[in-house]
Each structure stands twice: as C-alpha cells, then as structure tokens.
Amino acid sequence: MKTLKNVGEITLDQNFKSFSFIVISALLSAIAVQGFVETAHLYPAGFLGVSVLISRLSYKYFQINLSFNVINLLLNLASVLLVRKVAGKKFLMLSALQFILVSIFIGLIPQFSLVDDPMLLSIFGGVLAGFSCLLALQANASSGGTDFIAIYYSHKVHKPVWNQIMVFNVFILILAGINFGFYDAFYSMIYQFAVTTIINNFHDRYKLVSLRLVTSLPDEISDLIFKKTSHGATKLYAQGAYTKDAKTMLILVCNSFEVNDLVTDALQIDPNIFITVSKTEQIIGNYEQKTLE
C-alpha cells in the first residue's frame, strides 16, 4: 500500500518530469524556429505559422513590422478559452508555460544555419518541431494554438484529429503561397507533414483499444478497471471449452496509454487471466474521456 509519503514523492516526481518535458519541448521548438524555419523561410505549424503569415502580410501591405512572437503569444492566450472546459488547471498552466517559454527562448537564441538545403531543413525541422509537440503532449500539456483545437475536438469525438489540423495548416500555406510565392510554401508543407507524422505515430492518448479479459476473479478485475480507467465494462458469463471451468469475460474500451498499467495489474490479481487487445476505430454511444488534469 502506498503511504502518504510515497504518494507525495510520486506526485513530486511526476510534476518534475512534466516540468522538464515542458522546458525541453519549448527549447526544441525555439531551435526549430531559429535554426530551420527562419533559415529556410518556412511557415511553421499552427498558430506560430499564422503569426508568421500575419507578420509578413502586415509588412508587405501596410509597412508595419509586427513581431510574430508577440502575435503568437496573444493567439495562444486566446485559445486557452477553448479548452478550459475539457482540461484542468494543471494542463492549462503547463501549456501556458510551454508557449511562454517558446517566446522567451526565441528571443534568446539567435538565428543560425546548419545547412543551406531547404529540403533538409524542412524535413529535420519538422521532425524537431514534431518531437517538441510530442514532449508537451506527454507532459499532459500542449504547445498551444492549434494543439489546443486538436485536443479539444479529440476529446469530443474520441479520436485523433491531427490530420484535420494539417489540412488547416495547408490552407494557411496556400494563402502564404498566393501572397509570397509557392517556393517556401511547398517546402513548408513538407515541414508540416513531418510534424504531423511524428505526432500521429507516437501520441496515443486519443487512440482507442478494446480489451477482452477472461478471468475467474471478475469482481476484483472489475474494481481494477473502474479504478484505472473510470470506465465501465460489460460482463459475459462463459465456460472453458476444455476445462469446463466457469469463467467471466469482461469487455471494455479504453485509451491506448491506459492498457499497459491495466494489464500489468490484472496479471497480479489473476495470473491465469486471458487478455486480448484490439484497435477500436470508432465509438457510438456514451464514452467518458478522462479530463486532462
């Protein structure tokens, strides 16, 4: 049994881990902007890309030199209002810290160039930015902007919507191409694709799986399911075809990131449990998504 001291230490470790991920995420994002985006004249993902476009349009048509860094900060602060109903204070605070740190790091890190090849800058800059977003998401936060929008709608529809966010980004790039030429816009699309690919492949919070657990201890396993996932389960009574022993099958849907802990603890309760795990493409009906803390 965990003592109060143990729980406090775990919470402290989790908070330190989240804070560390946020700082590294912000640093990677700033490096991606200063070393790749600015060097190759790319338009970065999300609200940062919108901010760069607004900054360049204001200078082109009105000769007003607006800081994209300030525009990005204002847009991110406004987007906090969208997710406040599906996220807790900790999520919002960590997310705000992330994009504030990005603005600070961009101001501190000078623009630099590693290579002159825009293709390499687009690909590796996108990978770097993708891992920046991924670290923020792993810390139960976000990098702000369109990530907020993606998290909000993923929470509502119970599936990832990062590809739809990429469509929005491509639309922004088409506008940039019309106004400033498609050379940079096309390379920016490669950059956006790299960012989206990293997040889609490694972020599993909104990927759903179905579990079937065949056990002789259904009450204990049911209690574990409620404790670990806050979801219900369907109970079916069964019988072993060979042993003729009475069994119970518990069927539930949960998020992919919850599976490992649930399976590990279930095996501790019932070493003879039989578990199958399969992907779930869509849910129709009532399903409670855990609120971000």
User: Residue 215: what pLDDT?
Assistant: 93
User: Residue 1: what pLDDT?
Assistant: 42
User: Residue 46: what pLDDT?
Assistant: 74
User: Residue 41: what pLDDT?
Assistant: 86
Question: What tens digit of pLDDT does each residue of 115-160 get?
Answer: 989 999 999 999 998 899 888 888 877 776 676 677 666 666 666 6
Q: Which of 270, 24, 232 is nearest to 134 (CA)?
A: 24
User: Residue 96: what pLDDT?
Assistant: 79
- 92 neighbors 80 (Cβ within 8 angstroms): yes
Q: Tokens in use for 108? A: 């501190």
Instruction: State yes or no: pLDDT of 7 exceeds 60.
Output: no
User: Residue 249: what pLDDT?
Assistant: 94
- Out of 4-8, 66-70, 82-86, the most confident range is 66-70
This prediction's pTM: 0.69
The sign of the dihedral angle between the CA atoms of 176, 56, 42, 171 is negative
Question: What tens digit of pLDDT does each residue of 8-30 get?
Answer: 444 566 778 888 999 999 999 99
Residue 192 has phi, psi (to 5 degrees) of -65, -40
For residue 50, the one-letter residue type is: V
Half-sphere exposure of 278 (CA within 13 A, CB side): 8
Instruction: State yes or no: pLDDT of 163 exceeds 90.
Output: no
User: Residue 10: what pLDDT?
Assistant: 43
pLDDT, the chain, mean: 81
Question: What tens digit of pLDDT does each residue of 213-257 get?
Answer: 999 999 999 999 888 887 788 999 988 888 888 899 999 988 777
Please provide the DSSP assignment of 58-94 as one string: HHHHH-----HHHHHHHHHHHHHHHHTTTB-HHHHHH
**Which of the residue ranges 29-43, 137-151, 179-193, 194-208 would you say has the lowest mean pLDDT?**
137-151
User: Residue 292: what pLDDT?
Assistant: 55
CATH class of domain segment(s) 208-280:
alpha beta
Residues of the chain with CATH 3.30.70.2690: 208-280
2 pLDDT band, cuts 50/70/90, is very low
Burial class (CB in 10 A: 0-12, 13-18, 19+), 186: middle
